[in-house]
Amino acid sequence: MRKRGAFITLEGIEGAGKSTCMALAARLLRDAGRELVESREPGGTPLGEALRELLLGHRHDGMAVDTELLLMFAARAEHLHRKILPDLRQGRWVLCDRFTDATYAYQGGGRGVEESRIAVLEKWVQGDLKPDLTLLLDLPPEVGLERAGKRSKPDRFEKERVSFFERVRRVYLQRAADEPRRFRVIDAARPLEEVERQVAEVVQEFLAAWS
């Protein structure tokens, strides 16, 4: 039987450099001969991308926190059943920009939803599936917001205050401390070449351990 592929996620607050580091990680994994699928959350499927528009756009400003939480998991259920699980079973590797840690960080830390309520949905939607490796790009919110602020109009999350992103960051760091085998924390405040060096080291170490 073909060995299941590895599931790798990237996490971090706004402007942490996930997109930049995801491109590097994808190149390294493909160079190492892995068949790779890149995806993102919320999104990754046609329905998931439609939900992403509802979640990030401003048409539904003031959406109830429970609605936001359930839509995140609805998009995730679709993503898992239509894409992530079939790919992993076929031996493909999946590299995903954000996953359930983002829900604990944003809806839990940011919006104040109790962790235990998120855990119920996690178990329901994912069963025991968790990423095999999570790279957490960590940096102070002021630095991330400054980087991201140089871009287009802010979405529904990007317009939150620094204190919101401080709570998000705290939850991410707590999760990393609680699951040290799965998480690798990258100091994303460093210059890009230094961040890329850290990411490359983690990816190479993981490749060596997996095969």
Residue 15 in contact with ligand Z5A, rule: CB under 6 A: yes
CB of 188 to ligand Z5A, least distance (A): 6
- What's the rounded Cα separation, in Å, for the pair 136 and 101? 10
Q: Which residue has the tokens 């919101």?
A: 164
Question: Quick check: 106 binds ligand Z5A (CB under 6 A)?
Answer: yes
**What is d(CA 43, CA 156) in angstroms, rounded to the nearest whole number?**
16
- Residue of 7, 18, 87, 92 that binds ligand Z5A (CB under 6 A): 18
Binding residue for ligand Z5A, selected from 5, 7, 9, 17, defined by CB under 6 A: 17
Q: Which residue has the tokens 């999570």?
A: 134
Binders of ligand Z5A among 79-98, rule CB under 6 A? Answer: 97-98
Contact status: 33 vs ligand Z5A (CB under 6 A)? no
User: How far apart are CB 211 and ligand Z5A at their closest, in Å?
Assistant: 28
Task: Give the C-alpha separation, 104 to 149, whole Å.
Answer: 24
Choose, by CB under 6 A, the member of 6, 7, 9, 16 that binds ligand Z5A: 16
Q: Which of 4, 20, 85, 130 binds ligand Z5A (CB under 6 A)?
A: 20
**CA 197, CA 205: separation in Å to the nearest integer?**
12
Residue spans of alpha helices (H) in the chain? 18-31, 46-56, 65-79, 85-89, 100-102, 115-126, 141-148, 162-178, 192-210
10: DSSP letter = E
Nearest distance, CB of residue 128 and ligand Z5A, angstroms: 19
Binding site for ligand Z5A (CB under 6 A): 12, 14-20, 41-42, 56, 72, 97-98, 102-103, 106-107, 147-148, 157-158, 188, 191-192, 195
